[in-house]
Structures are given as C-alpha cells and as structure tokens.
Chain A
Amino acid sequence: EAGVTQFPSHSVIEKGQTVTLRCDPISGHDNLYWYRRVMGKEIKFLLHFVKESKQDESGMPNNRFLAERTGGTYSTLKVQPAELEDSGVYFCASSQEYRQSQETQYFGPGTRLLVL
C-alpha cells in the first residue's frame, strides 16, 4: 500500500511568486492534515480536511494560503504571493477515522520550500 506522497519534494521561488504544493493521502483515508516546520522549530498545524470539507483551519497563517481538497482525494496548498517567512518544510498527513484521538497520522516526506 502506498504511503502519503507529496509533490514537489523541493521548490525554490522568488518572493511574490506563487507555489502550489500537492498531497496524495493514503487511499481510503478521509482525514488529511497540513503542517509546517519553519527554521528548525516545532512542526505546526495548518489545517485539517475531512473528505472535501475543512474541519479546522485555525493554523493557516494568513489569506495568502489557500488549501483545497476537491473530491475528497488529493489536496493542494497554494501560497500566493509567497513571502520570505513562508520558507520551511510543509508536511501532509492522513488518517482513517474521524474523531478518534488515538488514531495515528501517517506523514508524507514533506516539501521543502525556499522563498528568496
């Protein structure tokens, strides 16, 4: 069974440009999460989808970030326009059962974003 995949693995863009990150969760997982790790600090939650609906987007930094999950399968995270402080590693995770706090989340390899 394939794990969580993310594309691209790396992205280097200039300030003001747009970048779109993609996450493909494990097949059959209704829950999809985005996290970000900036400058060697803690991994911080961005948002949570249950199928195609946003369950919690309290961690989204500002309105330059837009996440979608059309059809409840893969998800995209768009940053427009990108700023220097958006640099970091963006992780995607998925899990099967909703409202199960003991459920393990399975993480992808991350996308390393560098904004110059």
Chain B
Amino acid sequence: AQSVAQPEDQVNVAEGNPLTVKCTYSVSGNPYLFWYVQYPNRGLQFLLKYITGDNLVKGSYGFEAEFNKSQTSFHLKKPSALVSDSALYFCAVRVNFNKFYFGSGTKLNVKP
C-alpha cells in the first residue's frame, strides 16, 4: 500500500533561520513527489514536484526539496524562513495515473 508520513505535526522556527519540513514515503513503483501549502482559509497551492532528474528540486517562494531514494524521503527546505511562510504544508506522492496519497500535514510556525 502507498503511504506518506509527515512525522512532525508542527515545526517552529525563527525568522531568518533555515527550515526543514520532513516527509517520507512508502510506495511500490517509481514515485512522483509533490509539496503543497495551505494558507489560512485558502486552498492547497502547488509548491514543487519531483519527477525525475536532479534530486534537488526548486519551487515557489524560495522553497526547495531533496529527493533521497535510499531514505525514501522528500524533505522540504528553505534557507531563510519568513513569517509569511507560516502555513500548513502537505507532502504527496503519486504512483499511478490519478490519485495522490497525502501526508497528514505539518504546521509551520515562523516567529519574528
């Protein structure tokens, strides 16, 4: 069965510090990995995705994620956090042609 784990319900970081939001997955087959962000009272917004090629993927708002096949991880990172990055982040994996499997979400709190 396909699954995605986001082990941290919440991540707290000070503005200007680097941030990491963790994601691990378990799939049969080659995974396509995605990160989405949900701001309060908004829908899910696409941040970035890994399909193939370079393991380091760059996305919107300065975010990046590193695909690690041996550790089955796809952690989201940003070198310098902003207060405006505070939101709910979802990792997702897609194996077949349609549905996503999502993690439970990680709430990121960036404090001034």
Contacts and interface: CB of A to CB of B under 8 A. Distances in A.
B102 A42 contact: yes
A102 B43 contact: no
Given A31-B98, A42-B102, A98-B97, A104 B46 contact: yes
Given A40-B105, A91-B43, A102 B32 contact: yes
Given A4-B43, A40-B104, A109-B41, A104 B49 contact: yes
A41 B106 CA distance: 10
Interface string A1-43: 0011010000000000000000000000001010101001111
B87 to A, nearest CB: 14
Interface string A98-113: 1111101111111000
A64 interface: no
A101 B41 CA distance: 28
A99 B4 CA distance: 21
Given A101-B32, A104-B49, A109 B94 contact: no
B81 to A, nearest CB: 23
A109 B101 CA distance: 18
Interface of A: 3-4, 6, 31, 33, 35, 37, 40-45, 48, 55-56, 59, 91, 93, 98-102, 104-110
